[in-house]
Amino acid sequence: MGLFDKIKQAFTGNKPEEAPAEDKYEAGLEKSRSSFSDRLNALFANFRTVDEDFFEDLEEMLIEADVGYQTAVTISDQLREEVRLKNVKKPEEVSQVIVQKLVDLYGESEDSEDNSLHYAESGPTVFLFVGVNGAGKTTTIGKLAHQLKEEGKSVLLAAGDTFRAGAIEQLQEWGRRDGVPVVATEAGGDPAAVVFDAVKQAKEDNVDVLLVDTAGRLQNKVNLMKELDKIKRVIVRELPDAPQEVLLVLDSTTGQNALSQAKEFNQTTDISGIVLTKLDGSGKGGIVLAIGNELHVPVKLVGLGEKMDDLQVFDPTKFVYGLFKGLIDQPANATETD
């Protein structure tokens, strides 16, 4: 059974009184869901028959929906074959087939990926956050620190972004808000020295989780990557099994640019997972499909709103249903012919 059928069975087989309450994914992905449906409906409105022009416009629509070029071409090619075999004539008959193929293609990439966050078996767990300035690293760290503390874990923050104006103060404010300590130095200081002090304090205080902020000056890519490598060496020297996660934070509102950033970081940094922020504020949720199908790096956290608990551990099933809800709920008659 493909991911599409599993989701349809799990979410649409309930009686109305038993249907699950609106999930954060449904609310947080409303703009993306609406954007995709609007694009699909606009495509169908322009065609009365399924021909080569239809497939070319379909590819363009999927690329504009941020599902990625490779994904768009794969879906279009698979759909061409299915339309030929089943002799489908009307564009509206392929609506659910498009969604089904998107979902199942994503499901295939997710089968081999681990979306869970990993913690140390003993001693401090270290999560290292990387990404360009403005992606939401510091806010993500602040929200995650709050959630970890609510779970009863002790948390320490390291202000490793010593270059961006106000970055240290921003993390310190999150520390005050969360009630967790922050290891910091003056602006312009050595990030690796800050991380060394933080790891040392985490060991001495037997802290459960150390969250490390880093700089994001991608315009100085070579220097940035050297800096991140130095930070990792400092961590490994003190805690050989750390960091347990190297999380790349991406701003989902930037769409394909976020995918380009992910490819760039993935070439030079050993990324274990991705955090997608601001999904509620954009219509670009399709970028998760592009990341899954083109990068094969698991998404581990998603930002679905401004509240503390709107930072969610990534659930592929809930995400896909939240993105395609109305289309998945349609009767399964997409491939029937007259």
**3-class DSSP state of 312:** strand
- In 3D space, the residue among 257, 321, 332 whose CA is nearest the CA of residue 102 turns out to be 321
Q: Cα–Cα distance between 80 and 48 in angstroms, integer?
A: 16
Flag whether 134 is marked binding.
yes
273 is in an annotated binding site: no
Interatomic CA distance for residues 236 and 238, integer angstroms:
5
Angle in degrees, 0-180, between the axes of helices 95-110 and 30-45, rounded to the nearest 10: 140
Ligand-binding annotation for 213, yes or no, is yes
Determine contact, residues 211/161, Cβ cutoff 8 Å.
no
Dist CA 270 CA 222 (whole Å): 15
Query: Within 13 A of 334's CA, how many CA atoms are on the CB side?
Result: 17
- 277 marked as part of a ligand binding site: yes
Residue 209, number of CB atoms within 10 A of its CB? 24
The answer to whether the annotation marks 111 as part of a ligand binding site is no
The sign of the dihedral angle between the CA atoms of 281, 287, 289, 291 is negative
Is 215 labeled as ligand-binding?
A: yes
Query: Does 12 carry a binding-site annotation?
Result: no
- 166 assigned binding-site residue: no
Point out which residues pair with 302 in neighbouring strands.
276, 312
Q: Is 216 labeled as ligand-binding?
A: yes
CA dist list (Å): 153 to 142, 146, 148 = 14, 10, 5
Could you give the 3-state DSSP secondary structure of residue 209? strand
Q: Is 131 annotated as a binding residue?
A: yes
Per-residue DSSP letter, 63: H
Known binding residue 214? Answer is yes
Q: Point out the annotated binding site for GTP.
A: 131-138, 213-217, 277-280
Q: Point out the annotated binding site.
A: 131-138, 213-217, 277-280
